[in-house]
């Protein structure tokens, strides 16, 4: 296929994914908005008023970057995992595999759709946060690139989950038993400086911790880890997960019967 044909193909897949998101917006955009509003009310408003500050930052301001990243991660992952598994379940993924489209186009189209939902929810959460506190962006470039890389990483991870899933329950296992615990233990609601040494070491093995802190650096200008460490880890994950996704498509793992 020519370059123009590849661009048309990836745009078509992404447009279909985005159309699906907007068609069922009450399921894709409203629930995370309601959930994050409750987080701001309960953790930021009720509990935060008693905590006061965290690392010299108002608690409401402190949790905004983490909640934004949490919403982006969960929705990017969940969108592609359910959508691509649905394509497997309905057997129309086979039409993509036998088409002349390269594997990177198929992967890129689904990932673009998942990122669209993740980033859209992230913007919604930022707007909700602005109702509770004065949201500022200390470093817009860091904030935008962190959101993009975080969304890309978990879109790729969700794709891999969908490839290996054999039933719909398999799609929910990773978010429930791995993704949610890692997110809550990734410094969304607390600073690593509050933890004992052994807990700090465990937290530093959590990749989401670095993404949350990169986002905190983008919005608040402060972070518990060096910014270059966060970027190096995120770029490494993009390379590894992207390569794995393309390899799985090439082999047809879980896709060809």
Q: Which residues partner with 53 through β-bridges? A: 58
Is beta strand 53-54 parallel, antiparallel or unpaired with respect to 57-58?
Answer: antiparallel
Q: What is the pLDDT of residues 212-246, one digit of tens each?
A: 999 999 999 988 899 999 999 999 999 999 999 99
pLDDT at 254 over 80: no
Separation CA 118–CA 153 (nearest Å): 11
Query: Is 137 within the bounds of a domain?
Result: yes
Determine what percent of the chain falls in helix, strand and coil, rounding each to the nearest 5. Answer: 80, 0, 20
161: left (phi over 0), alpha (psi -120 to 50) or beta: alpha
The predicted pLDDT at position 168 comes to 81
Lowest-pLDDT range, 22-26, 65-69, 176-180, 250-254? 250-254
pLDDT band at 139 (very low <50, low <70, confident <90, very high): very high
Please, what's the largest Cα pairwise distance for the chain?
A: 61
Q: Which residues partner with 58 through β-bridges? A: 53
Query: Is 257 within the bounds of a domain?
Result: no
Helix (H) or strand (E) holding 61: helix 59-89
Separation CA 105–CA 208 (nearest Å): 27
Query: Is 188 within the bounds of a domain?
Result: yes
Query: Is 82 within the bounds of a domain?
Result: yes
Instruction: Give how far the C-alpha of residue 44 lies from the chain's centroid of Cα atoms, to the nearest Å.
Output: 22
Query: Could you write out the DSSP letters of every residue in 158-197?
Result: HHHHHHH-SSHHHHHHHIIIIIHHHHHTTTSSS-GGGS-H
Lowest-pLDDT range, 5-9, 92-96, 185-189, 199-203? 92-96
User: Count of domains in the chain?
Assistant: 1
Q: How many Cα atoms within 13 Å fall on the side-chain side of residue 23?
A: 6
Query: Is 256 within the bounds of a domain?
Result: no
Q: What are phi and psi of 139, to 5 degrees?
A: -140, 90
Separation CA 43–CA 67 (nearest Å): 11
pTM of the model: 0.92
Domain that residue 14 falls in: 3-251
Distance set, CA 32 to CA 70, 123, 196, 203, 212 (Å): 10, 11, 32, 25, 18
pLDDT at 1 over 80: no
Separation CA 75–CA 81 (nearest Å): 10
Query: Is 224 within the bounds of a domain?
Result: yes
């Amino acid at each position: 296929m020519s370059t123009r044909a590849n661009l048309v193909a990836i745009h078509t897949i992404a447009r279909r994914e985005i159309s699906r998101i907007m068609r069922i917006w009450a399921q894709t955009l409203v629930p995370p908005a309601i959930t994050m509003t409750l987080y701001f009310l309960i953790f930021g408003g009720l509990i935060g008023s008693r905590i006061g500050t965290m690392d010299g930052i108002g608690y409401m301001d402190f949790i905004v970057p983490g909640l934004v990243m949490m919403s982006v991660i969960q929705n990017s992952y969940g969108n592609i995992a359910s959508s691509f598994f649905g394509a497997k379940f309905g057997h129309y993924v086979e039409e993509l595999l036998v088409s002349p489209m390269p594997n990177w186009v198929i992967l890129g189209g689904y990932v673009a759709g998942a990122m669209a939902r993740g980033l859209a929810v992230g913007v919604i959460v930022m707007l909700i946060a602005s109702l509770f506190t004065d949201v500022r962006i200390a470093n817009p470039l860091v904030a935008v690139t962190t959101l993009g890389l975080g969304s890309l990483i978990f879109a790729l991870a969700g794709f891999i989950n969908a490839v290996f899933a054999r039933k719909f329950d398999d799609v929910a296992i990773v978010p429930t038993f791995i993704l949610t615990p890692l997110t809550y233990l990734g410094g969304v609601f607390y600073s690593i400086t509050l933890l004992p040494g052994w807990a700090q070491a465990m937290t530093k093995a959590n990749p989401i911790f670095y993404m949350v802190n990169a986002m905190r650096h983008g919005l608040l200008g402060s972070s518990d880890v060096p910014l270059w460490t966060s970027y190096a880890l995120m770029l490494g994950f993009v390379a590894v997960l992207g390569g794995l996704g393309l390899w799985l498509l090439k082999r047809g793992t879980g896709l060809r019967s």
